[in-house]
Structure 1
Amino acid sequence: MYALTRFKHLVWSHGPTIVVAFLILTLGGAAMTGWMQVNPKTTTVTDHHDRQTAELEAGTLAVVDGENGLYPEGAHLRNKPFHFYDSTPTVTLVTTTSIPEATQADISHRVSLVYRVVRGDEQYWEQRRTIQRTQATGTTVASNATLDMVSVHDKARQIARKAGGDASVVVQVEIHTQYTTGNYEGEITKTLAVEHGSEMFSLPHGTWTQDHSRTSTRTVTLDRPWWMETGPPFATGLGILGLLAVGITRRRIGDPERLEYEVHRERYREWISTGVVSSDLPVTVTADTLEDLVDVAIDKGERVMHDRDSGHYFVLVDGSAYVFTPPTGETAEMEWVSDTNIERETKPSLLRK
C-alpha cells in the first residue's frame, strides 16, 4: 500500500515531468518501430543454377622392366613420386577429362613435351612437341601419352651442353583440355615440371577442376537481434501504460494534503508511538505537517505520540505539547486547545524525504 501511496504522491508532485518522460518513451518507441518496418535489414544473395564441373585428372603409370630390388618385374606403378631409368625407362601419362553433370560433351586433349632454356629469370629458347592428341564425344574422355624418359633425359643434357654452363634446361609436360557442353564451354591447361637426374626422374600428378553455373541475385530480409525487434514495441507499450497509470492515478488522488500526510505517516512510522494524551496541557504548538512534528521530535530527543481517540499527533516536551492534526475528518478542532495558546511553528525539515 505504501508503494501505491508513494506513487500517488510522486504523480501529484512531479506529474508533468513524468508525463513528458512517458510521452518521449512512447513516441520514441513508435518511431523506432516504424523506421524498422520501413527500412528492413536486407542483403543480396547470389543463387547458382545448372551447375557443371569439368575435372582434369593427370596420373602416371609405369611397368617395371627388369629387376631393381625395389619392385618385381612387371609390377604396375601408379602415381609414384619417382622412377628409376633402369627399371622403368618409360612412363605413361594418363589424362582424363570428365563432366559428370553434362548429358553430352565434346572433349579434346593435347599433351605436349616442352624444353625451355632459361638464363637467370629469362627464358630465351623453347621447343614444343605434341606427343598425344585426342578428340571424342562423351562425359568422360581418357587418353594415354607414353614418354621415353631416357630419351627425354639425354635430349635435355644435349640442349644444356649447347646452351652453355650458365643456362639451365627446364623440361615440362603441358596438358590442355578443351570441352563444349550443351550449356557451357571452357578449357583447362596445366603444366607439369619433369625432374630428371642421373639415375631417377619424377613426373607430378594431380586433379584440377573448373566450375560453371548460371547465376541470379535476389534480396532477402535478415533478422535483427531480438532486443532490436522487441525493444521499441516494448518501449511503446510501456509508455502507453505509464501514461494511463498517471492519468488514472491523477484522477484518484483526492485531497493532496491528505495524500502528503499518508506518505509522511508511512515514512516516519518508526518515530511514532500510540497512546492516550492528557488534555491538560498549558502550552500547545501546532505543526503544519507531520514531517515538521517528526523534526521537532528528533531535535528534542523525543518520540511522536499518536492519540488514536482524537487522531492527533503529539510531541511532549517539559509539559508542553507540539501537535499536528491530520487533514481528515477524524477531528475538526481540539477543544482543549485555546486559540491564545496556539503558535504556528515553521522550520526547515531535519529529516529529508
Structure 2
Amino acid sequence: MAFEHRVKLFISENHRLIVAALVLVGVLCLVGAGYVFSTPTTQTITEETDRQTFETRADPSALVTRQTALYEQGERLDNRSVYFLSASPSMTFDVETTVPADVPVRLNHRLELEIRGVRDGQEFYRSTETLLEANETVTDGQFTASETVNVSALRGELQTLRASTEGVGEFEIRLSQTVQYETESYEGTLVSTVPFVIDGRSYYLEETVEAEQVESMSVQRQVTEPPNPLEYGGFALVGLLLLGVAVLARDLDDRIDTEELRTRIVHDRHDEWISRGEFPTNSQKQYISILTLEDLVDVAIDTNRRVIHDPQIDAYAVIDSSEIYYYAIEEVAADEWLDI
C-alpha cells in the first residue's frame, strides 16, 4: 500500500498543477481532433492516361508441295516446331501489326533475312536481304502483309559460303522484323530478331517473331482524402477522458487527509518497529504527545522499544517506564480515550 499512499500524497501536494496539466492536455487533444477533422490530407498521385498498345508478329507457315509420309500435298503447316525441305522447300511469313484503331498511325515495316559469318565472336561476313518493306498510314488499327522465302535456295547459298571458307568460322541466319510507328502522341520502334536454323534437310525458327510496346502518359492530380474517424475520434476521446479526470481530481484534494497519508507512509516504512496493541487507560504514567509518527519511531529506536499501534483510536505509542510517548492523527479523540 506504500506506493498507493505515495501517489495520493503526490496528487494532494501537486493538486492544482496536475489539474491544470490535465485540462491543458485535454484541451489540446480536442483542438487536435478539430484540426484533423477540418483539414483533410491531400496527396499527389500519378495516373497513366491515353494508354495505347502497339504490337507486331510474323507467323511462319509452309505449303506442302511434295507428297511425303508425314504430310499430304497441298497441306499448309502453321507455326510448327520444325519443317522439312523434302515436303516444303519454301516458308511464308504472315506479318500482322495491331495499333490503336481510333487514331491514324504511320507505319514503316521492314522484314529482313541476314546471314552472318562469325569466327571467335568476331563478324567477318554479312549479307542482308529485305523480304518486306512497306510505308503506310493505318486508320483501322491493323496492317497485314505476307512474304515467302525459298529456303531450299537459301540452303544452297549457305553451303556455298561454307565451302568458300573451307570450314573456317560459322555462318548463322537471323530473321529480323522492325516496325516504326508514329502518332500525334507517340512514336517508337518494335524490333524482333530470332535465329533461323537450317539443319541438313530441316529448318525452323528458334523463337517467335513478335514484339509489343505499351505507350501511356503520366498525369499527376491532387486527391483529398476524408478525415480518418479513428484519428480525430481518438484525439477527441482522449481529450474528453482527460477533462473528466481533471474534474474528478479537482475535488480529490478535499477528500484526502495529507497528514494521515504521511502517517501511513511512515507506518509502512518502519513497519518492523510497530506492533499492534491497546493503550492502557487511566494509567498513572505521564503521556507525552509527539508531533509526527516518524519522530515517535525515532523515540522507539533511541529507547530500544517498539511502537504500539492501537487501531481502535488510530494512535501510536512508545511505553517507557514512567512515560507514554504517543502520536494520534485525531489527537482530540485520542485524548478523550486516554482520559487526559
CA RMSD of aligned residues (A): 5.0
Asked if the contact 2:62/2:91 (under 8 Å) is kept, the reply is: yes
Gaps of 5+ in 1: 338-353
Total equivalences in the alignment: 333
1:126 aligned partner: 126
Farther-moved stretch of structure 1 (323-332 vs 105-114): 323-332
In percent, how many aligned pairs have the same letter?
23
2:186 aligned partner: 184
Matches within 5 A, 1:245-256: 248=250, 252=254, 256=258
Over 3 Å counting, the alpha-carbon distance change for 1:181 and 1:284 in structure 2 is same
Over 3 Å counting, the alpha-carbon distance change for 1:320 and 1:79 in structure 2 is farther
3-state SS of paired residue (2:158)? helix
Farther-moved stretch of structure 1 (117-126 vs 102-111): 102-111
Paired with 2:224 and 2:120, the residues of 1 have a C-alpha distance of 57
Post-superposition Cα deviations, 1:85-112, rounded to whole Å, max 9, x if no partner, equal 2122222112110024534434342212
Paired with 1:329 and 1:98, the residues of 2 have a C-alpha distance of 107
Letter in 2 for 1:324: Y
Over 3 Å counting, the alpha-carbon distance change for 1:22 and 1:184 in structure 2 is same
Asked if the contact 1:11/1:249 (under 8 Å) is kept, the reply is: no
1:351 aligned partner: none
1:149 to 2:154 alignment: no
Asked if the contact 1:9/1:263 (under 8 Å) is kept, the reply is: no
Over 3 Å counting, the alpha-carbon distance change for 1:95 and 1:36 in structure 2 is same
Asked if the contact 2:56/2:96 (under 8 Å) is kept, the reply is: yes
Letter in 2 for 1:150: S
Cα displacement (A) at 1:214: 2.2
2:328 to 325, 333, 339: 325
**What is the TM-score normalised by the length of structure 1?**
0.69
Matches within 5 A, 1:1-353: 7-13=7-13, 45-100=45-100, 102-134=102-134, 135=136, 137=138, 138-203=140-205, 204-218=207-221, 233=235, 237=239, 241=243, 244=246, 248=250, 252=254, 256-261=258-263, 277-290=280-293, 300=305, 304-308=309-313, 312-314=315-317, 321-327=324-330, 330=333, 336-337=339-340
Paired with 2:202 and 2:49, the residues of 1 have a C-alpha distance of 48
Paired with 2:127 and 2:316, the residues of 1 have a C-alpha distance of 120
Asked if the contact 1:305/1:315 (under 8 Å) is kept, the reply is: no
Paired with 1:250 and 1:42, the residues of 2 have a C-alpha distance of 45
Cα displacement (A) at 1:51: 0.9
Farther-moved stretch of structure 1 (22-31 vs 172-181): 22-31
Gaps of 5+ in 2: none
Cα displacement (A) at 1:194: 0.7
Asked if the contact 2:177/2:209 (under 8 Å) is kept, the reply is: no
Cα displacement (A) at 1:196: 1.3
Letter in 2 for 1:188: L
Paired with 2:300 and 2:189, the residues of 1 have a C-alpha distance of 102
Cα displacement (A) at 1:265: 7.5
Farther-moved stretch of structure 1 (268-277 vs 155-164): 268-277
Paired with 2:240 and 2:288, the residues of 1 have a C-alpha distance of 47
Asked if the contact 1:54/1:97 (under 8 Å) is kept, the reply is: yes
Cα displacement (A) at 1:53: 0.6
Asked if the contact 2:193/2:209 (under 8 Å) is kept, the reply is: no
Cα displacement (A) at 1:56: 0.9
Letter in 2 for 1:96: E
Cα displacement (A) at 1:252: 3.3
**What is the TM-score normalised by the length of structure 2?**
0.72
